Amino acid sequence: KDWEGDLDSFLEVGDLVDEEFVDYFINVLPPACMNGQCVQMGEPYSHNPDKDGKWRATYSTLKNSPEGWRYAGHCFRGQTEPVE
* 22 within some domain: yes
24-73: pLDDT as tens digits? 889 888 999 999 999 999 899 999 999 999 999 999 999 999 999 999 99
* 1 within some domain: no
* 60 within some domain: yes
The Cα–Cα gap between 48 and 56 comes to 6
* 48 within some domain: yes
Report the DSSP pairing between strands 16-17 and 46-49: unpaired
Task: Assign 60 to helix, strand or coil.
Answer: strand
* 10 within some domain: no
Q: What is the pTM of this model?
A: 0.89
Q: What residue numbers bound the domain in which 53 lies?
A: 15-76
Q: How many domains does the chain have?
A: 1
